[in-house]
Amino acid sequence: MSRHLQTDNTNYRVPSVERAMAIIDRLAAHPGSNLSQLATHLGVTVNGVFRICQVLVSLGHLDRDEHDKTYRLSPKMLSLGHQSMASNSLVGVSIDLLRLLRDEVGETAAIATRSGAVGVVLECLPAMQPFHFRLEPGTRFSLYSNAPGKALLAFLPEPERVRLCRQQKLVSSTPRTITTQAALEAELASVRQLGWAVDLAEEIEGCHCVGAPVFDQRRYPVGAIWVCGPANRLESGRFPRSLSGSWPAPGPSRAGSAARRWTSRPRPARDDVLHVARMRRLGSSVPFPSPLTIPRR
C-alpha cells in the first residue's frame, strides 16, 4: 500500500474508498493530472486508477478532458464543499460582514480557511467598481505572500506554525515577496502584535490586501477575512503604518466614519450566529474587523 493511502484505522479500511479520496486530494492540489501521474503518486496501477476515475466521472465528481486525457475536480465537488462550510456556519454567518466590508471600503471582500499548508477561498464578494479583483471559491493559495495567509499562519500554536512555515516554498512572485524563513517569522510576529495582516503587492503586482483572522471559541484560527483592491485605490497611506514602521500617516475619510458607526451598533443577540467583535479602525480610514469568533459546535 502506498504511503499516501496509509491509515491507522486498520479494522475499518476500504482500499477503494481510500484510493478514491487520495485521487480527489491529489487533483485538488494538482488539477489536470493524467492517469500515469495519479498512479505514480498513489503507488497503484494505472488500470486501478482508471476504474476509480471513471466511477468518479460518472458520479459527477470529476471532469475528464477528452483531448489530453487529464482530470479535474468538477463544480459538483466545490458545491459539496460549500454545503459543508455552510453547515459549519463559517460562510453563512460571515456573509453580512463581507457585504459591509465591500460596501464600506469599496473593494473586493473575501473569506478563506486553511487546508493543510495552503489556504482555500470560501466566498468572495467582488467590488462594484468597473475594475476589480475576483477570487473564485475553491481557489487555493500559499500562506506566506498574502494577507489572509499571514493571518491564518500568525495565530497558530507555535509548533504548528513553525511546521507550516517550513512547508512554504517561499517563491518570489514580485520584488516584495518574502523569500526567507527569518523574514516570514518576523512578519508573523508583527501580525500577531497588530492583530491584522497586509500584502502590498507581494503576490500580485499592483494588488494590495488587508486581512484579519477568524477564531473559534478556543481562539484557534479557523479562517481569515480580508479586502483587496488595486494599489492606486487601496493605497498604503490608508493604513497606519507598515509592519516595518514606514507607512505614511493616514488622513480622515468616509470609511473611517463608517467604521465608527459600525462600532456603535449593538452586537448580535443570538448565540448561534457569528459573534462579531467591534469594528477596528486601521488608522482613520480603512475599516476592518478585529478578530472574529464563531461558536464551537
**Percentage of residues of the chain with pLDDT beyond 90:** 42
Q: Of 102-106, 203-207, 236-240, give the lowest mean pLDDT range.
A: 236-240
Judge whether residue 245 has pLDDT over 70.
Answer: no
User: How far apart (Å, rounded) are the C-alpha atoms in residues 259 and 284?
Assistant: 9
Residues 202 and 173: beta-carbon distance below 8 Å: yes
Q: Of 26-35, 144-153, 234-243, give the lowest mean pLDDT range.
A: 234-243
Judge whether residue 216 has pLDDT over 60.
Answer: yes
| Mean pLDDT over each residue of the chain, to the nearest integer | 76
Q: What is the mean pLDDT of residues 221-235?
A: 90
How many Å separate Cα 163 from the centre of its chain? 18
Query: Which domains does the chain show, CATH number per domain?
Result: 3-73 (1.10.10.10), 79-293 (3.30.450.40)
- CA of 43: how far to CAs of 8, 22, 252, 284, in Å? 18, 11, 60, 56
State residue 7's pLDDT score: 46
User: How far apart (Å, rounded) are the C-alpha atoms in residues 129 and 126?
Assistant: 8
Give Cβ neighbours of residue 89 (< 8 Å, ≥ 6 apart).
272, 273, 274, 294, 295, 297
Q: What is the DSSP secondary structure assignment for residue 144, as one 8-state letter?
A: S
The DSSP result for 244-284, as a single string, is TS-PPPP---HHHHHHHHHHTSPPP--TTS-B-PPEEEETT
State residue 141's pLDDT score: 93
State residue 23's pLDDT score: 93
**pLDDT band per the 50, 70, 90 thresholds, residue 222:** confident
Judge whether residue 259 has pLDDT over 60.
Answer: no
Judge whether residue 187 has pLDDT over 70.
Answer: yes
Residue 227: φ, ψ to 5°? -120, 150
Coil, strand or helix at 74: coil
User: How far apart (Å, rounded) are the C-alpha atoms in residues 43 and 19?
Assistant: 10
Nearest to 131 by CA among 228, 237, 255, 236: 228
What is the reported pTM? 0.58
For residue 198 the three cell numbers come to: 497586509
User: How far apart (Å, rounded) are the C-alpha atoms in residues 201 and 199?
Assistant: 6
Residues 92 and 86: beta-carbon distance below 8 Å: yes
**pLDDT band per the 50, 70, 90 thresholds, residue 278:** very low
State residue 239's pLDDT score: 64
* Cα angle, residue 158 at apex, residues 3 and 280 outer, rounded to 5°: 120
**Extended strands (E) in the chain:** 33-34, 62-65, 70-73, 108-115, 118-125, 140-141, 197-200, 207-215, 221-230, 279-282, 286-289, 292-293
296 Ramachandran zone, left/alpha/beta (phi>0; psi -120 to 50):
beta
